Structure 1
Amino acid sequence: MNETNSGNQPASTALLFFPHDGVDIRKILMELYHYKWIILAVSMTSFFIAFLYTFTIQPTYQTTALLQVHPQSANAGVLSKLGYKSSADSALETQQALIRTRYILEPVIIQTGLNISVTPHYYPLFGAWMARHHSGDSLARPLFRLKSYAWGGEKIEVSQFTVPEEYVGQTFKLIAGKNNSYQLFSPEGELLLTGKAGELSTSAKTNALTLKLGKFQANPGTQFSISYKAPIYLVNSLANNLRITDVYGNDPAQNTGIFQLTLTDSDPARVVKLLNGIAHYTVIKNRQQNAEEAQETLEFLNRRLPELRNKLASAEDAVNQYHIQNNTLSMSMISQLLLHQLTTLEQAIDKLKTEREELLQLYMPEHPQVLANISKEDALQKRIDELKGEIRKFPLINQEEINLVREAKIKNSMYLYLLNSEQQLEIAKAGLSSDVIVLSDAIPAGKIPSHKMMIIFMGFFMGAFLSIAVLLLKNALNKTIEDSEQIEDAIKLPVQCVLPFSRKQKRLEKAHKKGMNTFGTGLSAPLILAKQEPDDITIESLRSLRISLNMLSPSAHHQAIALMGSLPGIGKSFVSLNLSQVIADSGKRTLLIDGDIRKGLLHRALNQPKSNGLSEYLEGKCQYEELARHINENLFYIPCGNHTAHPIQLFQSNRFQELIKKTKQDFDQVIIDTPPILPVIDSVLISKYCEIKLFVVSAGKDTIGDVKLAVKKARACHIEINGIVLNHSKPLKNAARYEYRYTYGDVNTSSATT
């Protein structure tokens, strides 16, 4: 038999696999492998939930349409025809923003009846899926005769539905009848009206509640939910399903004014109808806006033209009155006359100069004709100087007339401009069109992939991720003991034995419990792993412990061993029972005492009655000869009994000391399963009479703090613990560290347990 005891591994080897100064990937992987079934179970559960979720996913359909905004006149209306320009980019953005507001969407919602919702009553979980996959125009037969549910083929179209204000947003119940008839019930279940498809029905209680169905096909008894919602509350949801994207040419920087509308909905016919409504209503609203702007401008011009006409007439009258009062002509006529005289005089002077040059060729300068010529020239020059003086003084003298004429000209210009604008506007209004053009109506709706397989696998991986994250977080926060090095470093006590997890013990516990429930204690075999599975790896470790105990005190005989522990449920009774059987199998008369008189359970594993045990003896109710019960060849057992006195008084009595003394004389080995040390002091009182004290620690359950506190409590009472037994009550997380292989009998027969 070959054995590898992990409890005695060198520290350097341990550090090689479990470094203290970094992340141990191998340990993390072993942790995850330990919980592989939990991870797989959570992943499969998430996988199944995602699979069920795919049945609730409704198909989604998408359609698109193209619109164009004229960049040169967008959002400017008629004012652009009068010379006013606006930014094409801002106009396009403004138009796109308007499409997503209630200005456009609310009328479309009312026009298409989107605020009227009619939903068949489907069977939970799979009813809607069955109805969607029904083929043909005929009605599906009700499953399980459940006629109130819709199973496929139902058709209902609401032509008109009005409700009083108090019923807006509430859900009514409509039940189909025979021959296309129906009944409408209030949310409280009150019958409001009865009607027939194709006819307008009015409630007898209020005229504000009317209903008219167009197409109606359903089995009698089928229920529908119908509601009328305020259109304004549906604007946001419709805008969220509407996407607007710009369409660019070869040059992305150049704005074409074309944009694409994309709308998604669960109904393929409705989504096309909605998008066409949005596109065409955008054109209509833009045309109305341009018409309103043109009309407002015309009204403004019609108000201003008469005023300007009157002001212009007043200015012209003021000029005429000025001329009459001053007995003058207009400034333009006077200025023209002065300029004409000046020009005539200058021409006469030029003619005299030419004549004088001719005379000087014939006569001397003193000749009378030459002198007469000079005299005429001087007279004309004098007259020219006088005219120039009058011209220089003319603006100052006629300043008032200048102001009057200027004001008349300004008013005349304004009047002519507005008159011309009015005529242009009337021409433009006659041919007024929208700045928005529908290039392409909504195309037939296409189904959007629902990616169900991706959702299912994402559910699986999400479950795996969450379970791994939770497990890693749990282990990071968990301060439980995992290996022997932790104990030896923390409390400075040697680990005498490491007991691997035994799957065979778990199977025996299930079989024992089943046998107890079926046959009772008389026919159920004792739950002793060392007796039923002697080749188990855990029992082999206990044999190693037996040898270690002999080496611990080789000269001692008839000694008592106390098995202690910090808290309940750490496997202390399991170690006591199987260690007793291992020592008994070695040929020693062994006595196992259940010292936990408060909550001892060893009698269940050995199929023994609890009464007439340790408690009764300590209370003097039975004799020593009645205590020990023979279990098998060399194994005897004393149960805990049923106590009436306080346990501390019983263990402090002389009868307990005498009992230990007698058992040491009658048996080769006495093993006492003591109560947990942290909750009660009984274990300390028992251990005083025992030569060897072993402390059982459960890997993965006991914490360093609990073990330290328990050892400190024992040492405070002068109880020195001889060693630690590390018991793996759960499957090993680092199984590779505790792997053994044994070969018995035939060399071809071997068993390996981890």
Structure 2
Amino acid sequence: MKQQGPTFDRHEDNEIDLREVLNLIKKNYQLILIITAICLMCGFYYAHTRAPVYRSSAMIEVVNDTSSGLASKTVLSSLETSQDFSTDLEITLLKSPYILGDVAQKMGMDILVSPQRTKYFKKSKQVQNNVTIAVLNLPNLLLTKPLTLIVEHNDQYTLLTQRGEKILEGKIGQLVSTNYLSQPLQIKITKLNALPGDKFNVSKLLATDIANDLSRNLTIKQEGRNTGVLTLSYLSSTPDEAQNLLNSIIEVSVKKNSQEKAEEIANTLRFISGELPTLKNKLQENESKLNQYDYKTGVFNSTAQGQILLNSISNLQKMLDDLELKKTILLQKITSIHPLIIAINQKEDRIKNQLNELKEELKQLPVIGQKELNLKREVAFDENIYTTFLKNKQQMEIVKAGKTNGVRILSPASYPISSVPVKKVAIIVGSFVFGLMISLSIIFIRYVLSPRVEDPDMFERILGITVLGIVPCSINQMIYNKKVKQNKDSIKIPFLLAHKNSKDLSIESLRSLRTSLQISLLGIENNVISITSSSPGVGKSFISSNLATLMSDLGKKILLIDSDMRLGILYQCLGK
């Protein structure tokens, strides 16, 4: 009969056998229990030994420009498109290095100082060493790198690089400046409590890194919808640190907002003040021209049609001048390609077209009346612009004196009396689930990576060899083997599981194998069975001796040969 080659059923290989999964879990339940118990104990230990954390809270209000009294009447709100303070933008700024970087510098968190401890020192002479550095500006090459500060006599100190290169010498209380690699370096030490010869590690941390650390502990939540009221919370290991840091964050935010608004008002006021003299001179010049023309021509009243045209042109010119002024102020802050500037330019073009049409109608009037109307229109326009600028200047000065701010403190940072409660149940349950997931992952990874083939059907498909029987491991045989290792004299006592315990599951499997072998050996001249394996200690001797015993029970003559010339142990089964 021609033997069929290996066959593969990809559909069956990709299926998940639930029974096989459950058997795999049952087989490795001890490993699952051990890993889960370890994770559970770790979670229990962490939940009961976790360091206390304190939360400080504060509340601020983000005020829009249009809701600040006189500020709503300023040139910023009357000429610009309304751009309210965005709450989302303020939240982003509060959690960014723009605010938190200044907080880190204000609290001195960007300067790290630690004493260098020698390997051996006398505890009786140990003193509390500390250094207070008020100013430390380093070149970019020295940022985050440790420097060595050596205490000298007479309040002197020396600053060295990590490699021992001397940078500068200074005295306590003085600002020392020098150049290192063509870049400025400054340091000022206000307090130095140490003995001569003591050394300290000094490093300048990046403000962005500290800001990121502070941001992780800062929580901002908006109360209500579109209220502008923000609740800030900060977590820290000590209540004083939580309160001080949160107060510093609020103070820096208010200060920066106030500086921005003051600078914005100052720029606008500077622009208006610079334009007022020019507008005044232009107004006086046009008034003088009108008076001279009226005196020369003797015409002081225009026709009704001219008056109508004058009013129309005057209104359009006023709108055009207002748009021009608005565009000039906006260009101080945005570019010419901004949508607001483009919209203003389009509106100016429409107004200019209307003005051209009215001027063509005005040409039909007498030349004297037309010129008079033009002069009056120019005087009216200049007077309106001058009055508007003067009024805006007065309003801006009032706003500047009022010192309005876009961020208002509703309640300062609170002092946390008690620590934040630890969610022990959640931690313990999470550790249990984590341990269960880790243990199951390890089991399935071991199963996937294991080269062992445990499914007989897969063995037949891959190798194309028929599986005649499956013999499970016998617990009684394992007990005997263990006894033999402990007591060598037990070898002299014959032990065949087929005789000692004929109803053992392994023996029953061997009987089934015996039956399959008898069927397979039908019609074969030499009834030779070879039992081999790829590694020692897998049960060749056990199967050979007990299978031979079971075959002899059927009245057959059996010759049992141990072909392992060096490490054969088949004789032990017979008590030899």
Name the TM tier (shorter chain): 0.5 to 0.7
Residue 168 in 1 paired to residue 143 in 2? yes
Select 2:413's aligned residue among 442, 447, 451. 442
Q: Partner residue of 1:409?
A: 380
Q: Mark the CA change 1:223 to 1:40 in structure 2 (over 3 Å): closer, same or farther.
A: farther
* Structure 1 segment 261-272 matched on structure 2, within 5 A: 261-272=232-243
Q: Partner residue of 2:400?
A: 429
Q: What is the Cα deviation at residue 430 of structure 1? A: 2.0
Q: Mark the CA change 1:161 to 1:586 in structure 2 (over 3 Å): closer, same or farther.
A: farther
Select 1:109's aligned residue among 104, 120, 124. 104
Select 2:477's aligned residue among 494, 500, 505. 505
Q: Partner residue of 2:211?
A: 235
Q: Mark the CA change 1:543 to 1:94 in structure 2 (over 3 Å): closer, same or farther.
A: closer
Task: Report the AA paired with residue 104 of structure 2.
Answer: I
Q: What is the Cα deviation at residue 169 of structure 1? A: 0.4
> What RMSD in Å do the two structures reach over aligned CA positions?
5.5
SS of equivalent residue, structure 1 residue 256: coil
CA distance in 2, matches of 1:549, 1:147: 82
Task: Report the AA paired with residue 534 of structure 2.
Answer: L
Q: Mark the CA change 1:41 to 1:146 in structure 2 (over 3 Å): closer, same or farther.
A: farther
CA distance in 2, matches of 1:38, 1:507: 23
* Structure 1 segment 499-648 matched on structure 2, within 5 A: 499-515=471-487, 523=489, 525=491, 529-530=495-496, 534-535=500-501, 537=504, 540-541=507-508, 544=511, 562-565=529-532, 567-569=534-536, 570-579=538-547, 592-597=560-565, 600-603=566-569, 606=571, 632=575
Residues 77-122 of structure 1: CA distance to partner in whole angstroms, max 9, x if unpaired?
A: 9575235266576533333333333332322221111212467999
SS of equivalent residue, structure 1 residue 259: strand
CA distance in 1, matches of 2:249, 2:559: 93
Q: What is the Cα deviation at residue 56 of structure 1? A: 9.5
SS of equivalent residue, structure 2 residue 544: helix
Task: Report the AA paired with residue 93 of structure 2.
Answer: L
Q: Mark the CA change 1:512 to 1:26 in structure 2 (over 3 Å): closer, same or farther.
A: same
Contact conserved, 1:77 with 1:289, CA < 8 A, in 2?
A: no
Q: Partner residue of 1:308?
A: 279
Q: Mark the CA change 1:100 to 1:487 in structure 2 (over 3 Å): closer, same or farther.
A: closer
Q: Mark the CA change 1:282 to 1:40 in structure 2 (over 3 Å): closer, same or farther.
A: same
Contact conserved, 1:148 with 1:222, CA < 8 A, in 2?
A: no
SS of equivalent residue, structure 1 residue 293: helix
Q: Partner residue of 1:98?
A: 93
Greater shift after overlay, 572-581 or 21-30?
A: 21-30
Q: What is the Cα deviation at residue 281 of structure 1? A: 1.8
CA distance in 2, matches of 1:509, 1:202: 83
Contact conserved, 1:69 with 1:437, CA < 8 A, in 2?
A: yes
CA distance in 1, matches of 2:116, 2:428: 27
Contact conserved, 1:162 with 1:210, CA < 8 A, in 2?
A: yes
Task: Report the AA paired with residue 506 of structure 1.
Answer: M
Contact conserved, 1:263 with 1:271, CA < 8 A, in 2?
A: yes
Contact conserved, 1:74 with 1:88, CA < 8 A, in 2?
A: no
Contact conserved, 1:74 with 1:435, CA < 8 A, in 2?
A: no
Q: Mark the CA change 1:503 to 1:454 in structure 2 (over 3 Å): closer, same or farther.
A: farther
Q: Partner residue of 1:34?
A: 27
Residue 317 in 1 paired to residue 288 in 2? yes
Task: Report the AA paired with residue 562 of structure 1.
Answer: I
Q: Partner residue of 1:288?
A: 259
User: Aligned residue pairs: how many?
Assistant: 485
Q: What is the Cα deviation at residue 21 of structure 1? A: 12
Select 1:71's aligned residue among 56, 64, 78. 64
Q: Partner residue of 2:55?
A: 62
Q: What is the Cα deviation at residue 525 of structure 1? A: 2.9
CA distance in 1, matches of 2:368, 2:514: 144
Task: Report the AA paired with residue 413 of structure 2.
Answer: A
Q: What is the Cα deviation at residue 66 of structure 1? A: 1.0
Select 1:256's aligned residue among 214, 227, 235. 227
Residues 466-494 of structure 1: CA distance to partner in whole angstroms, max 9, x if unpaired?
A: 33244346556878654777778996857
Contact conserved, 1:565 with 1:572, CA < 8 A, in 2?
A: yes
Task: Report the AA paired with residue 144 of structure 2.
Answer: G
Q: What is the Cα deviation at residue 313 of structure 1? A: 1.4
Residues 113-140 of structure 1: CA distance to partner in whole angstroms, max 9, x if unpaired?
A: 1212467999xxxxxxxxxxxxxxxxxx
Q: Mark the CA change 1:118 to 1:444 in structure 2 (over 3 Å): closer, same or farther.
A: farther
Q: Mark the CA change 1:225 to 1:571 in structure 2 (over 3 Å): closer, same or farther.
A: farther
SS of equivalent residue, structure 2 residue 404: coil
CA distance in 2, matches of 1:205, 1:310: 53
SS of equivalent residue, structure 2 residue 561: strand
Indicate the structure (1 or 2) with the bigger Cα radius of gyration.
1
Q: Partner residue of 1:81?
A: 74
Percent identity over the alignment is 27
Q: What is the Cα deviation at residue 228 of structure 1? A: 1.8
CA distance in 1, matches of 2:177, 2:271: 51
CA distance in 1, matches of 2:164, 2:48: 30
Q: Mark the CA change 1:33 to 1:94 in structure 2 (over 3 Å): closer, same or farther.
A: closer
Task: Report the AA paired with residue 218 of structure 2.
Answer: L
CA distance in 2, matches of 1:293, 1:554: 104
Contact conserved, 2:496 with 2:574, CA < 8 A, in 1?
A: no
CA distance in 2, matches of 1:463, 1:324: 103
SS of equivalent residue, structure 1 residue 264: strand
Task: Report the AA paired with residue 466 of structure 1.
Answer: I
Q: Mark the CA change 1:193 to 1:42 in structure 2 (over 3 Å): closer, same or farther.
A: farther
Q: What is the Cα deviation at residue 529 of structure 1? A: 4.9
Q: Mark the CA change 1:514 to 1:223 in structure 2 (over 3 Å): closer, same or farther.
A: farther
* Structure 1 segment 470-489 matched on structure 2, within 5 A: 470-472=442-444, 475=447, 482=454
Task: Report the AA paired with residue 397 of structure 2.
Answer: E
Gaps of 5+ in 1: 1-18, 123-144, 177-181, 336-392, 516-520, 608-629, 637-754
CA distance in 2, matches of 1:407, 1:283: 46
Q: What is the Cα deviation at residue 307 of structure 1? A: 0.8
Task: Report the AA paired with residue 534 of structure 1.
Answer: K
SS of equivalent residue, structure 2 residue 56: strand
Residues 549-572 of structure 1: CA distance to partner in whole angstroms, max 9, x if unpaired?
A: 9987999xxx97534235334421
CA distance in 1, matches of 2:422, 2:204: 29
Q: Mark the CA change 1:410 to 1:551 in structure 2 (over 3 Å): closer, same or farther.
A: closer
Q: What is the Cα deviation at residue 279 of structure 1? A: 1.1
Residues 695-745 of structure 1: CA distance to partner in whole angstroms, max 9, x if unpaired?
A: xxxxxxxxxxxxxxxxxxxxxxxxxxxxxxxxxxxxxxxxxxxxxxxxxxx
CA distance in 1, matches of 2:236, 2:199: 24
Residue 245 in 1 paired to residue 207 in 2? no
Task: Report the AA paired with residue 256 of structure 2.
Answer: K
CA distance in 2, matches of 1:450, 1:200: 48
Residues 598-650 of structure 1: CA distance to partner in whole angstroms, max 9, x if unpaired?
A: xx5224x757xxxxxxxxxxxxxxxxxxxxxx954xxx6xxxxxxxxxxxxxx
Residues 422-461 of structure 1: CA distance to partner in whole angstroms, max 9, x if unpaired?
A: 2333233222221221001111246444546644543343
Gaps of 5+ in 2: 1-11, 152-156, 305-363
CA distance in 2, matches of 1:543, 1:457: 48
Contact conserved, 1:77 with 1:435, CA < 8 A, in 2?
A: no
Give the TM-score normalised by the residue count of structure 2.
Answer: 0.65
